Amino acid sequence: MSTAPADALDPVRRGRLFAAVAGVVVLFLAASSVPSPLYVVYQAAWGFSASTLTIVFAVYVLFLLASLLVVGGLSDHVGRRPVLATALVVQTVAVVLFLVASNVTMLLVARAVQGAATGAAITAMAATLVDLNPRRAGLANATTPLIGLALGALGCGLLVEYAPAPTRLIWIVLLAGFAVVAVVLALLPETAPRRPGALASLRPRLRIPAGLRADVLAITPVLAASWALGGLYLSLGPSVAAEILGLQSHLLGGVLVTLLCGVGALTAVTVFRRSPESLLAPAGGLLAAGTLITLAGLALGSPLGTAAGTVVAGLGFGSASLACFGTLARIAAPETRGELMAVAYTIAYLAFSAPAVVAGFATVQVGLRPVAEAYGLVVVALGLTAVVARALVVRSRRGATRECVEA
C-alpha cells in the first residue's frame, strides 16, 4: 500500500484524487437519502404505521451516531484507506439487504447497517479531502453532502415514479456505483500516516482538540439549524407534499428535498470566496426566513409558496454548510482531522435526527400539519439563535479590541 503523504503527490494527480473522493462522498450521501421517497412505497406495500416509519429513521441515525462516536477518529491513527474500505464493504452489504428486503424487519436491519457504514465513511472522507487540498476542502465538504442528498432523493423519486421495480432498481444502480468506488479506493494512496492510539480512539467519546473549542462553539448554532432543517425535509417532506399540499407524485416529494439541497450546493459554490465567519449570521437569518415562508405556504396550501420558502431556506442551508465546514477545514490539524469531523457530524446528526424522531411519534398523536408547523418553528428558533450568537461574538470581540486600544 502506498503511504506517500498527500503533499508529496503530483498536483495533477492530487486534483484528480480530490475530485474522485468528492464523488464518493456524493454517492454515500445519495444512498442515505434514497430511502426517503421509498418510505411511502414500503408503507403501502407492508402496511406498517407511521410510528414504525419513525423507528426505521431513528435506527439509521442511532447506528450512524454510534459509528461516529466509536470510529470517527480511527482514520487519524490507522489511515484513511482501511476505514474507507471497511465502510464500503458494510455499505454494500446494506444495499444488498435493501435490494432483497421483503418486510419491515429487513428494512430496519438494512437501515441500521447503512447508518454504521455512513458514520464510518463520512469523517474519513471529509478528512481525506482536507488532506488532499485544505484550501478547497471547505467547499467540497460543504457541497458534496448536499449534492448527494439532492441526487439521491431526486433520482429515487424519478425511478419510483417512472421506472419498473421501484423498490429494486435504485439499489441495483447503487451497487454499480459502489463497484466504481472500489476502483477509486484501489487507486487512492494513503493520505494520513499511521499514529499510535488506534485502540484508545475506539472508546466512545467526543473531544474537541485543544484550542479549537471557541471555533467549534461559534459554528454550532448554525450547524444545528441547517441540519435540523434537513431532517425536517428528509423525514416529513414527502408526507407533507402528499397529505398537506395534495401532491401525490413520488417525484414531487423528492423534488422538495432536491430543491433545498440543490439550492444549498449552488449557494455554497457562489459564496465560496467569502470568509466562513462572515456567513454565519446571514445563514441563520436565511434559514429562519425561508422556513417561515415555507410554513406560510403550507398554511395557504400553496405548493409555489412552499417552494419559494424552500429556495430561501436553501440559500441559508448552503451558506451555513460553507461557513461551518470552511471553518473546520481552516482549523483542523492533520493529526486530529478525523476526530474534529466526528464532533461536527455528531452535532449535525443529533440536530438532524432528534427533532425528526420526536416529530414522527407526535404525528401519530396530533397529525402531520401541527407537527410540521411546530418542527418548522424549532428551525426558525435555531436560525435566530445563530444570528444572535454571532452578534454577541462580534460585540465581544469589538469590546476586547477597544479595551486593548485604550490600554
196 by Cβ neighbours in 10 Å (0-12 / 13-18 / 19+) ranks as exposed
- pLDDT tens figures, 88-102: 999 999 999 999 999
Nearest to 220 by CA among 319, 343, 122: 343
pLDDT value of position 214: 82
Task: Tell me if the pTM is above 0.85.
Answer: no
Per-residue pLDDT, 237:
76
pLDDT given for residue 7 in this prediction: 67
What torsion, rounded to 10 degrees, do the Cα atoms 269, 272, 87, 35 define?
-40
In the predicted model, residues of the chain with pLDDT beneath 50 are 1-4
Half-sphere exposure of 161 (CA within 13 A, CB side): 16
Nearest to 38 by CA among 99, 119, 115, 84: 99
Is the sign of the CA dihedral 114, 115, 116, 119 positive or negative? positive
The three grid cell numbers given for residue 138, joined into one nine-digit string: 471547505
Q: How far is CA 99 from CA 55, 189, 191, in A?
A: 20, 32, 34
Cα separations (Å) of 194 from 74, 75, 83, 191? 10, 8, 12, 10
Crossing angle for the helix pair 250-270 and 134-162, nearest 10 degrees? 160
301 CB burial (10 A radius; 0-12, 13-18, 19+): exposed
Q: What is the pLDDT of residue 405?
A: 52
User: Residue 365: its pLDDT value, please?
Assistant: 85
Residues 181, 30: contact at Cβ < 8 Å? no
> In the predicted model, what is the mean pLDDT of the chain?
86
- Other Cβ atoms less than 10 A from the Cβ of 317: the count is 31
* Cell 448552503 -> residue: 318
For residue 4, the model assigns a pLDDT of 46
